[in-house]
Amino acid sequence: MSGTLPATGGATSDVLTAWSDAEGAARARDLFTATFGAPPAGVWAAPGRVNIVGEHTDYNGGLCLPIALPHRTFVALRPRADRTARFVSAQEPGVREVELDAVAPAGAPGAVEGWPAYAAGVAWALEREGLAPAGRVPGFDLAVDSCVPYGAGLSSSAALECAVAVALDDVAGLGLSADDAGRARLAAACVRAENDIAGAPTGGMDQAASLRARAGHALLLDCRDGAVEHVPLDLAAAGLALLVMDTRAPHRLVDGQYARRRQVCEDAAAVLGVPSLREVADASMAGETTWDEVLAGLDDPEQRMRVRHVISEIERVRFLVARLTHAPGAQLRGWALDKVAWALDASHTSLREDYEVSSPELDLAADTARRLGAHGARMTGGGFGGSAIALVDADRAGAVAAGVADAFAVAGYGPPAFLLASAAAPAGPVTA
Ligand code: GLA
């Protein structure tokens, strides 16, 4: 799973390369057969994601702009005649068994512990959402292996959910992955699995990216109505690369802090008398109000900071999409590139200062990348650890990675990991 990124001057840094479909499928299939004694019915895969801009906007009905990573989670699955689900992972010893009729919400007696909650939760949610024929999906045996780094803020949990969703879609004959409308329903089921069964109150961007993105495009997701647009993204044509810098720092307080951010935003929307902060973001974009007027309606300083981030971040998504649209492919240089850099940097500042979800490691990664010539750098994902991204000249990716690794060593942090992100394909069956 790892290789090296050559740096100018000969130094190298760890880089997490994506598995080919053949490699990922063989790993999942072999694990399945060794564990369950017979081959699977098939192998399916779903990507992790990296968000270019639009952070902590999804649960506010806002806009975000993720891409699907080439790094995927592979599941080998075979349906069973009963309602039992058995799970094995290359990342954890042992086989776990769950009765699908006994799956209970997080925190309730009988709640599924650990990673199988994400997978069993998808079966549960497909049934609760009324997507399964006669209200039931079959039991199944499942083996999983993944090259999406775990705990790196790159949506390894959504990749697992979405791989299970397309697998069950196929074996239960639901036909939902055939078009975007069906994929949106699968994504909604995956979000429900994560919220209700795994107990993580996340907002839906990750599952949409994994199921609805398109290779060679960023996904402009409108989280209010679920509409998507595919924005062409060909960084290589402009001689650019998107370097993902996984700080490998432990997530600190992430669960409680994420839920708290979401609650503060919902409280602020209630004070402002709007269904979501999207409405005030749109009103300010339309010139019907100003940021100052919006913020003047909030007495609580914490709410003012959080709202300022959310409405400015939604504007940054629109701004960046406009830049990418007006300067596609090789034209993303010069002034257009400077504007993209400005938006990425401003997003990081806003997340650090107004939303307070960055960390010293994320700040150091972004600052160092900028100092080494990145065209914008920012934390990505939920924050409190995880990864940052830097838009770099492709021939500088190794040098920037080496510089960030050096800066981490000097600061006494553990070594970061790196990967190169390109806009890859969404979840589906693996034919290799
Ligand atoms: C996590 C969540 C997403 C989103 C991001 C922040 O990745 O899973 O739903 O809220 O944080 O943008």
Pair 140, 85: CB distance under 8 Å: yes
pTM: 0.96
Residue 202 has phi, psi (to 5 degrees) of -80, 170
pLDDT of amino acid 177: 98
Long-range contacts of 366-374 (CB under 8 A, 24+ apart): 366/390, 368/400, 368/403, 368/404, 368/407, 369/243, 369/245, 369/400, 369/403, 369/404, 370/345, 371/403, 372/396, 372/399, 372/400, 372/403, 372/404, 373/400, 374/243, 374/341, 374/400
* Residue 169 Cβ contacting ligand 1 at under 6 Å: no
Q: Which domains does the chain have, with CATH numbers?
A: 21-48+68-234 (3.30.230.10), 239-421 (3.30.70.890)
pLDDT of amino acid 14: 74
Q: Among 202, 223, 389, say which to mutate for ligand 1: greatest number of ligand atoms within 8 Å of CB.
A: 202
**Residue nearest atom 8 of ligand 1, based on CA coordinates:** 202
* Residue 313 Cβ contacting ligand 1 at under 6 Å: no
Handedness of CA 11, 14, 18, 22 (dihedral sign): positive
Helical residues (DSSP H) of 129-238, grouped into ranges: 156-171, 180-192, 205-212
* Residue 116 Cβ contacting ligand 1 at under 6 Å: no
Q: Single out the residue of 227, 168, 258, 239 nearest to residue 397, CA to CA.
A: 239
Pseudo-torsion of CA 349, 350, 353, 359, nearest 10°?
-60
pLDDT of amino acid 8: 44
pLDDT digits (tens, 9 = 90+) for 55-106: 999 999 999 999 999 999 999 999 999 999 999 999 999 999 999 999 999 9
pLDDT digits (tens, 9 = 90+) for 306-321: 999 999 999 999 999 9
pLDDT of amino acid 13: 66
* Residue 56 Cβ contacting ligand 1 at under 6 Å: yes
Q: Which residues are catalytic?
A: 206
- Detail the DSSP E strand segments found in 199-274: 217-222, 228-232, 240-246
Residue 117 scores a pLDDT above 90? yes
* Amino acid (1-letter code) at residue 39: P
pLDDT digits (tens, 9 = 90+) for 156-184: 999 999 999 999 999 999 999 999 999 99
Residue 7 scores a pLDDT above 80? no
Residue 120 scores a pLDDT above 70? yes
Pair 145, 127: CB distance under 8 Å: no
Pair 32, 88: CB distance under 8 Å: yes
Q: Single out the residue of 97, 93, 121, 102 nearest to residue 34, CA to CA.
A: 93
* Residue 48 Cβ contacting ligand 1 at under 6 Å: no
Whole-number CA gyration radius for the chain:
21
* Amino acid (1-letter code) at residue 318: R
Q: Report the nearest atom of ligand 1 relative to the CA of 383.
A: 11
Kindly report the average pLDDT of the chain as a whole number. Answer: 95
